Structure 1
Amino acid sequence: MRPRDIRVIDTMLGVPLKEDRSDWFDFFRPLLRDKQSLEQFAMPAQYMFRNIPAAEGVDDLPGWTVGEMDRFGIDKALIGYVEGSPLNDIVRTRFADRFVFDMPVDPNGGVDTVRAIRRAHEAVGLKAISVFPCGCVPQVPIDDKRMWPIYSLACELDIAVAVNVGVPGPRVPMAPQHVELIDEVCWFFPELRFVMRHGAEPWEALAVKLMLKYPNLYYSTSAFAPKHYPKAIVDFANTRGADKIIYAGYFPMGLSLERIFADLDAVPFKENVWPKFLRDNARRAFKID
């Protein structure tokens, strides 16, 4: 049973500014080809999620988000930074103690992307850079040369990278996110703190093997309801991987906090794993005070 007194750090959460959040996924819309994804889904992996959270009639969506965090004991959350977004000032003026930023990027931007990351880090003190390899336009494999400047900069700035791995939920090709592509990255950048997002399935056993191999490789549970955490990941957390598995939700992109925290009670983590999973591992991997 999950302890109730642990103040949680959520390493994947979104703060909406309007109820229609479909524009959150516009960046990879050019990759979508099937009619259902293009015309019917509110979010591109909707076939995998039921009861996507809504906040109908809510005027203050950032305030609503923080209220939901309070309900479920979430102390801090890692959210995406978008240059020029009004959310940046809202967060920093009203909720500076509740949020830290990662910056989603497309490595196809080359040196312009590197400059944008530097600007963001100077502005808000980024804790991570995040990349969706299968959602870049065109797609960028995890070990591609276009990723190398991103990894180098993360090492220079001493921040983490959070990278989607495994078969993507949206109906786009999966090859850029094969878990085996992480191996050369971790070998070449031994100081890089690399956090695997979105499951690593169906190669979760390989993800465990690589975490045993590389000290700075981590796994987050983003976009998975806890009842669907891969068994290999739960077993690893309960044995040699207690310091490697990091809690991440997917609110409000696809999962409600009610669903996540109700499911968590049934996850068979050992007692000593819970504080590491819910807080301590995130503090170390993302250097969150």
Structure 2
Amino acid sequence: MAMPRDVAVIDTMLDLPYLYRNWNQAWSKVLMDKESRSGKETHPAFYMFKDPVDLPRGDDPIGGTLAEMDRFNIGMAVIGLTDDLAIEAVTRHPDRFAGQLAVDPNQGMEAVRALAEAHERHGIVAASFFPCGVGVPIDDKRAFPIYAKCVELDIPIFVNAGVPGPRMPMAPQHVERIDEVCWFFPELKFIMRHGAEPWTALAVKLMLKYPNLYYSTSAFAPKYFPKDIIDYANTRGADKIMYAGYYPSGLSLERSFSELPGVPLRDHVWPKFLRENAERVLKLGDRSARAADAASRASA
């Protein structure tokens, strides 16, 4: 049951320090209450985090992030391609950073083309989609071209599921909506993000049903990981659950890694949860091998 210390963790949700993030503007159409709309840089789920991270970008944000990753034995992080700095990190350190692109199905073919371009130019390993944030339900027809493109590119998609933290309608992320998507796209690797609460029992039932449906622990401090998910990981779901933090959006690495040893995972589950599942589903082992080969050729 002890968390191993020799596993190079893959964090499937980590980002570089933000230069500027206007949450209000990004989700202005769905944030209605005064508190959520009041601060340009205030996380819209501010009420959920007791000690939110306040991280300046600094002079060397890539080096600083790598140093933090090394402190906690994070071998690789999946980061959002939010700006040129993120692209630089993925390009310069392909063995440590892998890119994922957030897509908005409201943009139609523009979103599909952006996904294809990011895959070709920057080697992204996943797409991501926040249904409540963009007002598009998980099973909406506007999202289907995105799912189809992910199948074509052979990359997974991270999709927020369950009641969202920000004060916006929850209906787009009801876990039952995942059922039709997995049924219609059996080849699609679909990874739930941000809890799936309060429908975690349903999330487990759907993971039992669909072989390409997975769950990441993003945005939850480890002591709050849902019991249904941990029980499933310890039984039939050892290959379905993967680690994700929420640094620097809401959780510090110190908090996540101080609480992780208290998670009651079985010994054989820990390596899968911390690294092996993400490495397999996102094909990160192939990426690391290609990066090592490129470095070897460059130094020859």
The TM-score normalised by the length of structure 2 is: 0.91
Output the CA distance in 1 between the equivalents of 2:248 and 2:150.
Answer: 27
Alignment of 1:1-289 (within 5 A): 1-18=2-19, 21-23=20-22, 26-40=25-39, 42-56=42-56, 58-82=58-82, 85-136=83-134, 139-289=135-285
**1:50 deviation in Å?**
1.8
SS in 1 for 2:211: coil
Query: What amino acid is aligned across from residue 49 of structure 2 in structure 1?
Result: F
User: RMSD value over aligned CA atoms?
Assistant: 1.4
Listed one character per residue, the Cα deviations across residues 48-98 of structure 1 (whole Å, up to 9, x for unaligned) are: 00222233583222221111111000000101113xx22144214542321
**1:25 deviation in Å?**
6.3
Query: What amino acid is aligned across from residue 281 of structure 2 in structure 1?
Result: A
Question: Aligned pair in 2 of structure 1 residues 230, 92: CA closer, same or farther (>3 Å)?
Answer: closer
Unaligned runs of 5+ in 1: none
SS in 2 for 1:151: helix
* Contact 1:17–1:87 (CA under 8 A) maintained in structure 2: no
**1:130 deviation in Å?**
0.3
SS in 1 for 2:4: coil
% same residue: 60
SS in 1 for 2:262: coil
Output the CA distance in 1 between the equivalents of 2:170 and 2:264.
Answer: 30
- Matched pairs, number: 283
SS in 2 for 1:129: strand
Unaligned runs of 5+ in 2: 286-300
* Contact 2:102–2:128 (CA under 8 A) maintained in structure 1: yes
Query: What amino acid is aligned across from residue 176 of structure 2 in structure 1?
Result: E
